[in-house]
Structure 1
Amino acid sequence: MPDRTSRVQRVLTAADRFDAHPAGPSGTGVLLLAGSSGRVEIGRAQLLAAEGARVRAMRWFGGEGQRPAPHEVPLELFVEQIARLRGSCDRVVVFGTSFGAEAALTVASLGPVDAVIAVAPTSVVWAGAHDGSWSSHWTLAGDPLPYTPFDHEWTPDADPPAFHSLYSSSMRRFPERAAAARIPVEKITGDVLLIAGGDDQVWPSTCFAQQITAAREKAGLGSTLVSHPDAGHRLLLPGEQPATGGMRMARGGTPKADAELGERAWPEILRILDPHSA
């Protein structure tokens, strides 16, 4: 993985990170990334640490020295944190949700990680806006990655808005841009675990997960997909409570279905965290 971290902010302030240390380390380090909420996933970090993982949960936009929005966020920010975990752990896993899953899959395609856990994933890089300027969610060495723009003719038909149809129509409207923005998941050398709800109203994560699986199968690589037809965009792992906050939107699912998806996914997550325990 190229070392271009000198061009970006490398230090996470105390407010922009949370480190969870296990009582009995398994040797696995986890970089934990939230989505568009911008939160630091403290509760989930503690849950994973209880299973032996050393976890760094981080804010990746909106923090000190960071981009103010998911817009041209340097991928080197994640590369640096992976390198830090690699210095003290035998294995490194990147665990992301929604936009965080987009980041996890994208950064894992650049260089070696041992596994990716992508909750409500996407198969392409998307556009982000800041101060009226549209560009890619991510940059590498200062250059924006190819991205899928949004369908400017789309309008919401519900309140709160469900953006599922916006992402679907944008893929159809700009197929060449979407093809150029495809995340090259066949370059991910580690395990890939995809978790998606069939009632996701934010974006078509089950369709995206199937596209990721198909791309890796074409390259002779495996993936694991865990889904639930009635779950939404947010995952509830055993012991977690429904999250609040974030942008006002329809996310689909129910607490019961989201928790059932979490129960289905939990054994696979544990396998990723400690493959020797299986």
Structure 2
Amino acid sequence: MHKFLLSLYLIFSLMPALLKAQDHQYDINKVDHNGLVANLYLPRVKGKVPAVIAFGGSEGGLGTGNANGEMIAPHGIAVLGLAYFKDKGIPQTLDQIPMEYFIDAINYLDTHPSIDSSKIGVVGGSRGSEAAFLLASLDLRIKSVVVTTPSKVAWNGLTMPKSAWTMDGKDIPALALGLDSNATLLNRFNAALDDEILVKKSLFKFENINGPILLISAENDQIWPSYQMAKDIELYLKNRQFQHKVVHNSYKTGHGFSQETAPRIKKSIINHFLSTL
């Protein structure tokens, strides 16, 4: 699983000058709150602003969160670029990450004098989609969700045969890869997803999410079946008469998307948050 492509990070780094609308200047402040490793990208505007919690996938660190800040903050939405592993003071590998850490990120925004705490969203990609879905289903303060190349279930960590995620000190139900290391990652993920009983246990409670969802998937994903999992999420929510809007945009690319699709993906993410927060 350590070979994951850095899909969300690649989207933001491929075309840094694509979106030229610099409506708002912003400040970047290092966050000092309860052990969070994060930067707050805060637009210079009067009054309170919406905020998005942004983080990456298996690449770890602050890179993807910071890239989100540079992309979204000029449009008048604050971004909390968050690292949850592979940085000083936090886990070094994507293993046994406590969801309380992400909830603390909401708590920080909830009490910040410049943030409208009724308008908080989250964006995550690839392995980060797991954290985004878990956070949004656990905490109703999340009012808008964007995920790229999403998973519909939680998975084990990168180096331990245990769930990547915990809550209240207990493992969140998660799947292990199927087959063995001789098989491709896609085949190993698909084999695990064939176990309907374990999938049901590890499936996120999407119906608990308190806001609209934008799914962005890759139709030729060579890492895991993000397109099919996004379709499954759509059907799951439709069958449960989900009250909020669900949009699924798919692209005929691999897991890391492409230079050609990056402009549309960036624009769709920004527009989603502008229209839902």
TM-score in same-fold range (> 0.5): yes
Shift of 1:39: 3.0
1:224 aligned to 2:247? yes
Give the aligned partner of residue 73 of structure 2: 49
Q: Deviations over 1:142-191 (max 9, x none)?
A: 000111111143524xxxxx52222111111x331121000111110111
Shift of 1:67: 2.1
Measure, in 1, the Cα distance between the counterparts of 2:224 and 2:158: 18
Give the aligned partner of residue 32 of structure 1: 54
* 3-state SS, counterpart of residue 69 of structure 2: helix
Structure 1 vs Structure 2 CA RMSD? 2.1
Measure, in 2, the Cα distance between the counterparts of 1:56 and 1:17: 6
User: Is the CA contact 1:149–1:177 (under 8 Å) kept in the aligned structure 2?
Assistant: no
- In structure 2, relative to structure 1, the CA distance for the partners of 1:148 and 1:269 (3 Å cut) is same
Measure, in 1, the Cα distance between the counterparts of 2:45 and 2:182: 51
Shift of 1:276: 7.4
Shift of 1:100: 0.9
Give the aligned partner of residue 116 of structure 1: 145
Give the aligned partner of residue 255 of structure 2: 233
User: Is the CA contact 1:129–1:135 (under 8 Å) kept in the aligned structure 2?
Assistant: no
Shift of 1:129: 4.2
- In structure 2, relative to structure 1, the CA distance for the partners of 1:266 and 1:139 (3 Å cut) is same
User: Is the CA contact 2:61–2:87 (under 8 Å) kept in the aligned structure 1?
Assistant: no
Shift of 1:21: 1.5
Measure, in 1, the Cα distance between the counterparts of 2:200 and 2:238: 18
- Name which structure has the greater RCO, CA cutoff 8 Å, separation 6+: 2
* 3-state SS, counterpart of residue 146 of structure 2: strand
**Normalising by structure 2, what TM-score?**
0.78
* 3-state SS, counterpart of residue 135 of structure 1: coil
1:92 aligned to 2:116? no
Give the aligned partner of residue 165 of structure 1: 187
Give the aligned partner of residue 60 of structure 1: 84
Give the aligned partner of residue 275 of structure 1: 275
| Equivalent position amino acid for 1:28 in 2 | P
Shift of 1:266: 4.1
Give the aligned partner of residue 208 of structure 2: 187
| 5+ long unaligned stretches in structure 2 | 1-32
Shift of 1:267: 4.6
Measure, in 2, the Cα distance between the counterparts of 1:152 and 1:52: 47
1:148 aligned to 2:175? yes
Give the aligned partner of residue 255 of structure 1: 259
Q: Deviations over 1:226-264 (max 9, x none)?
A: 1112x2223xxxxxxxxxxxxxxxxxx5422x32xx41x
User: Is the CA contact 1:28–1:274 (under 8 Å) kept in the aligned structure 2?
Assistant: no
Q: Deviations over 1:52-82 (max 9, x none)?
A: 1111111101223322211110000000101
| 5+ long unaligned stretches in structure 1 | 1-8, 157-161, 235-252
User: How many equivalent pairs are there?
Assistant: 235
Give the aligned partner of residue 244 of structure 1: none
Identity %: 23
The runs of at least 4 aligned residues of structure 1 exceeding 6 Å deviation read: none
Q: Deviations over 1:100-122 (max 9, x none)?
A: 11100111101211111111110
Q: How does 1:16-27 map to 2 (within 5 A)?
A: 16-24=37-45, 27=49
Higher mean C-alpha deviation, range 200-209 or range 57-66: 57-66
